[in-house]
Amino acid sequence: MSVEEPFPNYHKQAKYLTKAKKDSEFLRSANAQVLQQTLRTLDRAWDDMKARGFGIPRFKNKYRMRSFVFPQLGKNPISKDAIKLPGLKSVKWRMSRSIPDNFVAKQARIVRKASGYFVMLLVKLDVNVPTPMPHGHPRGLDLGFDKFVSSSDGEEIKRPKFLKTLQRKLKLLQRRLRNKQKGSNNRHKLNQKIARLYQRISDTRKDWHFKLAHHLCSDAGMIFVEDINFVTWQRGMLSKQSADAGFGQFVNILHWVCWKTDTYFAKVNKDGTSQTCPNCGAHTGKKSLDVRVHHCNECGYTTTRDVAAAQEIRNRGVTR
């Protein structure tokens, strides 16, 4: 590839790939569609970098390259103890969750985790599933750094200590990595240890997100959250704390749990939720981040900043 071309597009790369395969047994051994998907991922990363100010894509060595996708599967690829993957024939597996009736497997993503290889299936159902209708008790939620979630009913939930402890442990190990020589056995071992801990953190966090989502849905008929682009938000000035908070994942899980529990779910416009009094609707002006209390001079309503924001989100949800 010539240096005059810093960002060859997908189609050029695909052409280079065809050429490279002629000389490389290693490349030929992989499924063609899988390789193309990897190029598409890179192409998207470059686009995001240029259009949205994301960082330069990192080279994925064998520790970082954690997954790849089969964008298409053959006919009836799944049986109880094996999955047919293009180019790999039948691979033995343990099906951890059964596929619901009438769903068809469309794509398979192979993910390497510290505890082994996993298959994530994208399944599709060709039937319309009714979404829950607005009904019952409305609950607005404000997500933030100080409290993970504040609800319009006055509940404030902090991020759990156990996640913070694990996160600190991870930082420690990552720091130790700097003293290990590249390619050494010790470094390899430490890398594996880091991968296992990373996995544990993400499992623990996900589990907590599910429990929290169920808790928040338990006695509500409607859930409203701010319509925030969490990716951009997390790249803001507070990115360090929010990176491990996983707001985006939580909202996805919340949406899913709402659907499962027949709770209506909607996102509302986020603009100025902290500038309006949820009690009387008066404009209370911009609060700087260090102001943690909402006090309205019009009606005298006083509560915490985050609960006031959650109540304003609820108000916007029910009057939409």
Q: Is the dihedral of CA 301, 306, 312, 314 positive or negative?
A: negative
Residue 133 binding Zn ion, by CB under 5 A: no
- Choose the stretch contacting Zn ion; rule: CB under 5 A; options: 20-28, 76-84, 205-213, 297-305: 297-305
Q: How many CB atoms lie within 10 A of CB 209?
A: 21
For Zn ion, the closer of residues 52 and 292 by Cβ is 292
Q: Which of residues 15-34 bind Zn ion (CB under 5 A)?
A: none
> Which of 150, 242, 279, 303 is close enough to bind Zn ion by CB under 5 A?
279
Kindly state the smallest distance separating residue 319's Cβ from Zn ion, in Å. Answer: 16
- Which of these, 275, 308, 296, 295, lies nearest to 147 by C-alpha position? 308
Binding characters for Zn ion, 163-182, by CB under 5 A (x = yes):
--------------------
Count of residues that bind Zn ion according to CB under 5 A: 8
Q: How many CB atoms lie within 10 A of CB 131?
A: 11
Binding characters for Zn ion, 222-261, by CB under 5 A (x = yes):
----------------------------------------
Residue 121 binding Zn ion, by CB under 5 A: no
Residue 293 binding Zn ion, by CB under 5 A: no
Residue 277 binding Zn ion, by CB under 5 A: yes
- Which of these, 159, 158, 253, 163, lies nearest to 202 by C-alpha position? 163
SS3 at position 27? helix
Asked if 69 and 86 touch (Cβ cutoff 8 Å), the reply is no
> Which of 1, 280, 289, 318 is close enough to bind Zn ion by CB under 5 A?
280
Residue 275 binding Zn ion, by CB under 5 A: no
Where does this chain bind Zn ion (CB under 5 A)?
277, 279-280, 282, 296, 298-299, 301
